[in-house]
């Protein structure tokens, strides 16, 4: 099994810096999907302090899309029998 490495800075970072000095502030994070991504160290500290999960952009977008679909279903009266 090969490890997928995604060294692109995450698009949800507040301050993305592309110079060598700024790259020292980046932390490599292992996402649950298997990607290793670079996040700003200040963002990592803030997310951990808030109890949020560290995830790559693709996982974050998929989670948000799922949440939006669930809210739409709820407000449109579509009943889900999972419970």
pLDDT tens-place string over residues 47-64: 999 999 999 999 999 999
For tokens 């700003």, what's the residue? 40
Residue 83 placed within a domain? no
User: What total number of domains does the chain contain?
Assistant: 1
Q: What whole-number distance in Å separates Cα of residue 62 and Cα of residue 66?
A: 6
pLDDT at 15: 44
Residue 80 placed within a domain? no
Residue span of the structural domain in which 59 resides: 5-75
Residue 29 placed within a domain? yes
Residue 48 placed within a domain? yes
Whether this model's pTM surpasses 0.75: no
Residue 55 placed within a domain? yes
Q: What whole-number distance in Å separates Cα of residue 22 and Cα of residue 1?
A: 32
H/E element, 42 = helix 41-49
pLDDT at 62: 95
């Amino acid at each position: 099994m090969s490890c997928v490495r995604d060294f692109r800075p995450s698009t949800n970072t507040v301050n993305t810096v592309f110079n060598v000095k700024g790259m020292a502030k980046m932390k490599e994070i292992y996402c649950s999907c298997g990607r290793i991504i670079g996040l700003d160290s200040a963002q990592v500290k803030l997310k951990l302090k808030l109890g949020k999960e560290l995830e790559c952009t693709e996982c974050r977008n998929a989670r948000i899309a799922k949440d939006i679909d669930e809210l739409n279903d709820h407000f449109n009266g579509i009943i889900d029998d999972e419970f």
